[in-house]
Amino acid sequence: DQQVKQNSPSLSVQEGRISILNCDYTNSMFDYFLWYKKYPAEGPTFLISISSIKDKNEDGRFTVFLNKSAKHLSLHIVPSQPGDSAVYFCAASVQGGSEKLVFGKGTKLTVNP
């Protein structure tokens, strides 16, 4: 049973436009959510996180939105750059993030120049 779902395996956007990556979860015990970026032949790199006590967190071009009632979160990248082309993983945890992570299958983002 997939507790964290990323239903779009791929997304393509034009440089300068907004990229929106979506993630749904089923476990209501999750209270901490993270986004990772992964380039080929590299390990995942932490991007941004959000606690369930918040509904938004920003870091530069990256914003994560959390809708607890819908068990949905999204990552917005504005403006998108070709260097953002990578696979993005959504992950969730309990106990404020101090426990193991449960990952989605990832969304491959391609930003076209």
Partner 1 sequence: SAVISQKPSRDICQRGTSLTIQCQVDSQVTMMFWYRQQPGQSLTLIATANQGSEATYESGFVIDKFPISRPNLTFSTLTVSNMSPEDSSIYLCSVLGREGGGYGYTFGSGTRLTVV
Distance CA 21, CA 10 (A): 9
Q: Which of 22, 49, 52, 74 binds partner 1 (CB under 8 A)?
A: 49
Euclidean distance between CA atoms 11 and 59, whole angstroms:
21
Stretch that binds partner 1, among 16-24, 28-36, 70-78 (CB under 8 A): 28-36
Q: For partner 1, which stretch binds (CB under 8 A), given 16-24, 38-46, 65-73, 78-86?
A: 38-46
For partner 1, give the closer residue by CB, 17 or 29. 29
Contact 10, 107 (CB under 8 A): yes
